[in-house]
């Protein structure tokens, strides 16, 4: 998240074709674009990755996410999002999510930012074996931190806990983290 008002973001495209004993074909993108006004943030993320080896789909996954944030109070933001995704390895033909809820800013330190989000989301999932997961509601509690101890190192991490609201023993836990080290 940036404090910059206006447009910001990044776009990365990757294409790889290797021909040796096997033919490898990889194409992917990673897009993060956002527009920020004083109390509003519109965020779009898209990540697609397609890997084909010897003509067979090996890894095929993608996620498209749109989020709107409204800064309600200095430490409270209302969030709403829609998301679509697929993942061949996880046997997810399609997963659709719509959710909303508050996010709380836990610290005011410039180089050490901590957030806690609590959302309710509607989920519909189609599996590649043709079965259809019943449409249901999940909670989504996440903890996010962005740590910048100096100009060289950064650590960004988000951990999600997502229980099915009708059956709390059915839950998902996921983490996405990145460590950045500036070399030059």
Top pLDDT among 87 and 128 is at 87
Asked if residue 125 belongs to a domain, the reply is: yes
Cα–Cα distance list, 68 to 26, 51, 60, 147, 153 (Å): 32, 31, 27, 23, 29
- pLDDT for residue 2 is more than 70: no
**Residue 131 maps to a domain:** yes
Instruction: Tell me, yes or no, whether 1 lies in a domain.
Output: no
80 is a domain residue: yes
Total domain count, the chain: 1
Question: Over the stretch 24-51, which tens digit does the pLDDT of each residue have?
Answer: 899 999 999 999 998 999 999 999 999 8
CA gyration radius for the chain?
Answer: 19
pLDDT in tens, 133-168: 668 999 999 999 999 999 999 999 999 999 999 999
CA gap 60, 95 in Å, rounded: 14
What domain range includes position 111? 6-181
Residue 11 in domain: yes
- Write the CATH number for 135: 2.40.160
Closest CA to 64 of 76, 79, 49: 49
Is residue 153 in a domain? yes
User: What percent of the chain shows pLDDT beyond 70?
Assistant: 96
Compute the distance between CA of residue 51 and CA of residue 124 in angstroms, rounded to an integer: 26
Task: Give the length of the chain.
Answer: 184
Whether 55 is in a domain gets the answer yes
Tokens, residue 69: 């944030």
């Amino acid at each position: 998240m940036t404090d910059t008002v206006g447009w910001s973001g990044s776009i990365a495209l990757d294409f790889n074709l290797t021909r040796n004993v096997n033919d490898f074909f990889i194409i992917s993108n990673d897009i993060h674009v956002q527009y920020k006004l004083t109390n509003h943030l519109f965020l779009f993320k898209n990540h697609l990755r397609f890997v084909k080896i010897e003509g067979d789909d090996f890894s095929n996954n993608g996620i498209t996410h749109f989020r709107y944030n409204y800064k309600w109070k200095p430490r409270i933001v209302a969030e709403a999002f829609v998301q679509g995704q697929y993942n061949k390895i996880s046997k997810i033909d399609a997963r659709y999510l719509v959710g909303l809820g508050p996010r709380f800013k836990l610290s005011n330190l410039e180089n050490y930012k901590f957030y806690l989000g609590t959302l309710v989301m509607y989920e519909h999932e189609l599996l590649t074996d043709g079965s259809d997961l019943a449409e249901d509601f999940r909670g989504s509690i996440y903890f996010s931190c962005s740590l910048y101890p100096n100009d060289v190192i950064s650590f960004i991490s988000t951990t999600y806990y997502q229980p099915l609201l009708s059956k709390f023993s059915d839950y998902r836990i996921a983490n996405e983290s990145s460590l950045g080290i500036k070399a030059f």
